[in-house]
Amino acid sequence: MNGLNEIRFFQKIALKLILVVSLTVIIIIGIYSYIKIKSQTDVLLAEVERHANQLSETVKNSTRYGMLLNQREYVDEIIKTIGKDPAIDNIRIYNKEGEIIYSTNPSDVGKMLDKKAESCYACHAENKPLEKLSSKERTRIFRLNENSPRIMGIVNPIYNESSCWEADCHAHPKDATVLGVLDVTISLAEVDKQIKKNELQELLFAIISIASIGIIIGLFVKRWVDKPVRELVKATNQVAAGNLNYEINGLGNDELGYLAKSFNNMTKKLQEVQQQLLQSDKMALLGKLAAGVAHEINNPLTGVLTYSSYLLKRTKDNPELQEDLNVIVRETLRSREIVKSLLDFSRQSTPKKSYVDVNEVINRADTIVHNQLNINKIKLIKELDETLPKITADANQIQQVILNLLLNAIDAIGPDGGTITIKTSQTTLQPKGIVHIKAALCPKNHNLIDNEHKIAGLPSIKLKMKTNTSEGFLFLDPVYGRTNHYFGIPIDKNEIIKLTCPVCDLSLIDKTEKCPVCGGPIYKIEIPTQGYIEGCASFKDDWQRWKKVDEGGNKKFVEIQITDTGCGIPQEYIDKIFEPFFTTKGQKGTGLGLSVVWGIIDNHNGTISVKSEVGKGTAFSIKLPVE
Amino acid sequence: MKNEFDILIVDDEQVVIDSVVKMGKIYNYKVDSADNPFVALTKIKENSYRLIICDIMLPSMNGFQFIDELQRQGIDIPIVMTTGYSTIDNAIQSIYKGAIDFVPKPFTFDELTATLKRAMKYSELINLKNKAQHKQIIYVSCPSKYFRFGYSCWVKDEFNGTILIGATNLYLKTIDNIRKIEMPSVGEKVNQAETFAKFEDDEGLIHNLHSALSGRIVEINEKLLTNVSILEKDPYFEGWICRLIPSEYENEKRLLIPCSSDR
């Protein structure tokens, strides 16, 4: 993994977020702008229309007198003068037949207009010409050609009235309704320019908003997402490379900050597990080594011992030889004891257990180190819980643990004196993952415990398992809440699995209840005098329930705390102190003391932890189960 | 024609073979040797042996597998196990698998002699028993409610939390004239398959008795210290050796053989 730099630009969260937000903003601003521009345009056009209408009425009224007097030059002059206004495109008057009689453009005069021409269309669209039109209907917007600006035209019919047919010129008959049409056209170039300007403003506004939203989101994403993610990726890479000490700090209290804390917690746990694994590995390796050494050395020792002891027997009458041979035999026997103790060390796997009063063991250990404590001016404070229950343990091994820790404390305090405190107490921890199922029965009281197949060293619970296609055995993990089951045949988790007693084939499925996690079937196995253990029989999840144990509450432990006021252990050594052959005492130490302690506690299903501060002291805490 | 040997030593270490051969010469045992289990199996088919001494850590097949193989082939020559990896687990496993004894390496000349003498005697007694007429009693088996660990140590559950423990008549008969018994002290803890009582014979050889169970000794039969003969007269009742509170009875009981199966 090369880190965040491998993520392509368009895959980044920031960009995705910006795109989504921008799209929303574009849609909102777009709709808003459209409505705004449309209403502005409508208002502008209405204004122009009103103006055109007014103008048309003005032209009509001002030419009325000229018309009545039939003074064509006068009318012509008025139209031309008004038409000089640059906003006015054209003013024309048609007669009833469609001939242009007056126009601001003199060349148009005399031309005939088709009824289909755009200025006639409003009235002449229907077969029968309309005589009255509203001002809206009289208005039209058109372009002369593609490149010309838009033009608004308004037609104003000139109706017949008494003064018209009574005029001296007698130009118009009495029965005609409409005498002609005044057509005023106004250029919309200015209006269009205004509209265009408005549109541009809106567009600019939209672009600026989107850009600033993008920048703001980008900045915050960088601060709140990018930076923490970079830090997290860096941390995962560190962990992947084996640095479990890496800690993420200062990521705040948001979700990513929480992730970082959870990550720190994970690495801490990993570190503990790794250390324990390492420890087990080393102990196993050491065991193998010791076994190998013992085997290899004991064979030649056999030769030495048998021959020398034989010679010793044969030379009873030769005292001088006897003396020498005795040395050989004695030293060989001593070698035998050394090898034996090496084997004992490696084989801490089977502590010989009995009921042990931890307080008594501590008192015994105290008498052993009493002199050493006095010489070093060390005060030993014992805060022993008188009501401490006895535990099932190997008293000698527990004594060895306490002695080793006391001797280490004495070394740590040195010749200038100090105090060591030994405290015993009772504590309780959750039963799940700790309680060991030692007996299990089928409804017909057949023993289900199988000593042949062991899970993590403990005899498992053997059940017969049938699926639609095959049949085999299932070995349940004997530790309540831990589910390292061994399946003798492969199972499909969607299949219905039948679980029965391997002896009588009686079903162990409880049909009255369902797994509260997945709703599947559950198995129910009797634990003599301890109720029943139940669990998910589809094995889709790890649900297990042992009411009696759950009710009985948490499991009891005896806790031994040994605290000294010695030199303390530097943080970088804390992880290593339980490893075999690790020592800071140079030639004085073997590096086996604490590793033996660890092995013994582990074999008693206990836990050991250490807290230390350089210059202030060290505190070891041991928890041993009360069984 | 089958060659008749007393002992077959199976070990991949020449010096161990030499030691046993040397001892054989002194006590007039005919000793044959094999440096791996396959050679041993061939030799067992070709010749006859009264006793096999077998190492546990052997090339290609370990001592326990070797016992299994012998049992599969229906060969019931008594076996004494020995190993340089002398752990209690190995001792327990050896007895459980059917070996009559377990000698940890390295052993002294006397330790080996004591074991072999007993083993040879055992072999002899079993042979006698197999050939014996109906009414002839070679040794007295332990009572039917008792349990035994191997052939040597018996236990009786007193059903009040304590266990009585002693030596079988067969074991005691393998030792020539017991002169003295050495017992553990009260309060001492013993482990299964660990030596808890020692018998000294005429020649001053020490014979170890391995405990059938682990536990704490609560009482010893002090009468035995003054009068060893009780042992031989009444090994199953008056001749009990000690009383203990077992520490891992449930677990260790699996490895015991009910005496009712001997009847």
Q: How far is CA B103 from the centre of its chain?
A: 9
Residue A122 corresponds to which amino acid?
Answer: A
- Determine the residue of chain B that is closest to A345 in CA distance: B87
Helix axes A255-314, A593-603, angle to 10 degrees: 100
What residues does A375 pair with on adjacent strands? none
Distance from CA of B155 to the nearest CA of A (A): 19
The pLDDT tens digits for A576-599 are 787 766 777 765 666 667 877 887
The pLDDT tens digits for A150-193 are 888 888 888 888 887 777 776 777 877 888 888 888 888 888 88
Residue A392 corresponds to which amino acid?
Answer: T
Query: Is the pTM for the entire model greater than 0.90?
Result: no
CB within 8 Å: A301 and B106 = yes
* pLDDT attached to residue A531: 80
For chain A, what are the domain ranges?
71-190, 255-346, 354-430+554-625, 449-552
Backbone φ, ψ for residue A318 (5° rounding): -120, 85
**Candidate from A433-437, A504-508, B194-198, B199-203 with smallest mean pLDDT:** A433-437
* pLDDT attached to residue A1: 46
Interface test with B, best of A326, A350, A352, A603 (most B CBs within 10 A): A352
**Candidate from A33-42, A543-552, A562-571, B198-207 with smallest mean pLDDT:** A543-552
Please give the domain boundaries of chain B with CATH numbers for all domains: 7-131 (3.40.50.2300), 147-262 (2.40.50.100)
CB within 8 Å: B57 and A298 = no
* pLDDT attached to residue B212: 92
The CATH class that applies to domain A71-190 reads alpha beta
Q: Residues of chain A with pLDDT > 70: what percent?
A: 89
In this prediction, residues B44-48 reach a mean pLDDT of 92
Distance CA A133, CA A117 (A): 17
A409: pLDDT strictly greater than 70: yes
Higher pLDDT, A351 or A72: A72
A260 exposure class (CB count in 10 Å sphere: 0-12, 13-18, 19+): buried
* pLDDT attached to residue A421: 94
The pLDDT tens digits for A413-434 are 888 889 999 999 998 877 776 6
CB within 8 Å: A350 and B107 = no
The pLDDT tens digits for A184-238 are 888 888 888 888 898 898 889 888 988 898 888 888 888 888 888 888 888 888 8
* pLDDT attached to residue A396: 79
**Candidate from A147-151, A508-512, A582-586, B146-150 with smallest mean pLDDT:** A582-586
Distance from CA of A592 to the nearest CA of B (A): 21
Q: Residues of chain A with pLDDT > 90: what percent?
A: 7
Distance CA A122, CA A117 (A): 9
A67 exposure class (CB count in 10 Å sphere: 0-12, 13-18, 19+): buried
A390 touches B at CB < 8 Å:
no
Distance from CA of B204 to the nearest CA of A (A): 12
Interface predicted TM-score of the whole assembly (ipTM), two decimals? 0.85
| Homologous superfamily, domain A354-430+554-625 | Histidine kinase-like ATPase, C-terminal domain (3.30.565.10)
**Candidate from A33-42, A250-259, B168-177 with smallest mean pLDDT:** A250-259
Query: Under CATH, which number does the domain A255-346 receive?
Result: 1.10.287
Distance CA A96, CA A61 (A): 19
CB within 8 Å: B19 and A354 = no
Average pLDDT, whole number, for chain A?
82
Could you tell me the pLDDT band of residue A109, with boundaries at 50, 70 and 90?
confident
* pLDDT attached to residue B122: 92
Residues A620, A626, A627, CA angle at the centre, nearest 5°? 145
The enclosing H or E element of B113 equals: helix B109-131
B230 exposure class (CB count in 10 Å sphere: 0-12, 13-18, 19+): middle
The pLDDT tens digits for B60-84 are 788 998 999 898 888 889 999 998 8
Distance CA B81, CA B90 (A): 9
Three-state DSSP at A154 gives: strand
